[in-house]
């Protein structure tokens, strides 16, 4: 067996090859891309005749470089960067750090401690594609939430009537349509019922248009708010227009990506299992499948899945002290999906509701 540490960067990889006794067999800096992978295979072929004899430690579990190593048949371990830092501190107290040194640390780590780490799973291409879409979708949702906060701060500064009209639903089509047409308090107060109705229809509302239009008009014409100078209001209005445009674009892309992701998810053979659980729909199911993967050998037990998702507690016991705490070292994307599943299950499952109440 040979053990390889791969310290990766955007344009190069520092590689350290070590034998089972800890003797360094070679250190190389390889370029990213086909040339680098070819050089990596040539380097490892000098010391191993079978790809299964090669154990590689690297601080990431995705990317084309990692995929090339997995496809070649090497045993590739994704090592958490925090683990690498702690392992380095165990053996090097001087505090020095270099890319070549990190490659050596990774090689030493998989040589002696790989049983405490996770080998990269052999997930299907379909699962990997769902994972890519699910993560991008979640990033877009987080970006939209950030822009909502920006818009809320803008409106609070000069247009509180709009906050009264739309509340927390600033990414709703009603809010985006009205604010696009009337981005300032003066413009909002001048909107007639007919223009608000037309704006809501254009934005996509199909029900309760008249009642909602009256509510919005009443809120926008409220006189219980302080005013800012007209020139300052115009400046704020320009920022509102820009933010509303970004929110509208994000919402459009999120909706389109949801459609594509749901189609891919429903074609996966494991989709039926996820959808059979209370609180899981196409989007939450796709997120969970993408993060869990579909390699049936990846997890030894349900407890390992819970640990990975961060839904199992951790116990700290020493002498007379005993504490049970939340698990913060976890896959945060998977944990977010699990929390959404749990919240939805409270209304969709009598058993889940009873268990939560207990």
Whether the per-residue pLDDT at 127 is higher than 90: the answer is yes
Percentages (nearest 5) of helix, strand, coil residues in the chain? 60, 10, 25
**Which residue did the predictor score with more confidence, 327 or 134?**
134
Residue 94: its pLDDT value, please? 64
DSSP H helices, 46-184, are: 64-71, 81-91, 99-112, 125-158, 160-166, 173-181
Mean predicted lDDT score pLDDT of the chain: 92
Q: What is the pTM of this model?
A: 0.81
Domain 2-122 in CATH 3.40.640.10: no
Q: Which of 82-86, 136-140, 162-166, 265-269 has the lowest mean pLDDT?
A: 82-86
List the chain domain ranges.
2-122, 128-264, 271-292+302-353
Name the nearest CA neighbour of 4 among 101, 92, 109: 109
Of all helices (H) and strands (E), which one includes residue 349? none
- Is the pLDDT at 61 greater than 90, yes or no? no
pLDDT at 89: 80
Mean pLDDT, residues 164-180: 94
How much is the average pLDDT of 347-357?
Answer: 93
CATH number (1.10.8, 3.30.43, 3.40.50, 1.10.287) of 128-264 reads 1.10.287
- The fraction of the chain above a pLDDT of 90, given in percent, is 77
Give the pLDDT mean for 279-294.
96
pLDDT at 320: 87
Confidence of residue 93 (pLDDT cuts 50, 70, 90): low
Q: Half-sphere exposure of residue 323, counting CA atoms within 13 Å on the CB side?
A: 6
Q: What pLDDT score was predicted for residue 95?
A: 65
Q: CA angle at residue 103 from 18 to 50, to 5 degrees?
A: 40
Give me the mean pLDDT over the 58-87 stretch: 90
Q: Are 111 and 18 a contacting pair, CB within 8 Å?
A: yes
Instruction: Report the percentage of the chain scoring pLDDT > 70.
Output: 99
For 78, the enclosing helix (H) or strand (E) is: strand 75-78
Q: Do the domains at 2-122 and 128-264 have one common CATH topology?
A: no
């Amino acid at each position: 067996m040979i053990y390889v540490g791969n310290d990766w960067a955007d344009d190069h990889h520092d590689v350290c090859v070590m034998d089972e006794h800890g003797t360094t067999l070679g250190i190389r800096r390889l370029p990213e891309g086909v040339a680098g992978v070819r050089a990596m295979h040539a380097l490892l072929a000098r010391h191993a005749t079978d790809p299964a004899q090669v154990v590689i430690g690297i601080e990431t579990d995705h990317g084309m470089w990692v995929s090339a190593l997995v496809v070649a048949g090497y045993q590739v371990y994704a090592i958490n960067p925090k683990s690498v830092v702690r392992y380095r501190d165990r053996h090097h107290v001087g505090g020095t750090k270099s890319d070549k040194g990190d490659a050596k640390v990774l090689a030493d780590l998989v040589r002696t401690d790989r049983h405490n780490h996770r080998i990269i799973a052999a997930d299907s291409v379909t699962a990997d594609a769902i994972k890519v879409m699910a993560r991008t979708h979640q990033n877009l949702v987080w970006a939209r939430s950030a822009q909502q906060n920006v818009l809320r701060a803008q409106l609070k500064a000069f247009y509180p009537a709009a906050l009264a009209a739309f509340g927390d639903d600033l990414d709703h089509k009603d809010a985006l349509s009205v604010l696009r047409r009337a981005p300032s308090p003066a413009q909002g107060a001048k909107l007639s019922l007919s223009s608000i109705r037309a704006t809501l229809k254009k934005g996509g509302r199909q029900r309760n248009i008249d009642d909602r239009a009256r509510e919005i008009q009443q809120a926008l014409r409220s006189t219980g708010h302080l005013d800012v100078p007209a020139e300052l209001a115009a400046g704020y209005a320009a920022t509102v227009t820009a933010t509303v445009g970004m929110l509208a674009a994000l919402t459009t892309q999120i909706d389109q990506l949801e459609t594509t992701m749901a189609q891919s998810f429903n074609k996966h053979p494991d989709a039926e299992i996820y959808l059979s659980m209370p609180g899981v729909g196409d989007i939450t199911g796709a997120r969970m499948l993408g993060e869990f993967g579909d390699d049936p050998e990846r997890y030894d037990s349900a407890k390992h899945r819970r640990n990975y998702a961060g839904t199992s507690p951790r116990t700290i016991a020493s002498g007379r002290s005993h504490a049970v705490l939340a698990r913060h070292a976890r896959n945060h994307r998977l944990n977010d999906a699990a929390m959404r599943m749990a919240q939805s299950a409270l209304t969709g499952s009598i058993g889940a509701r009873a268990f939560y109440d207990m």
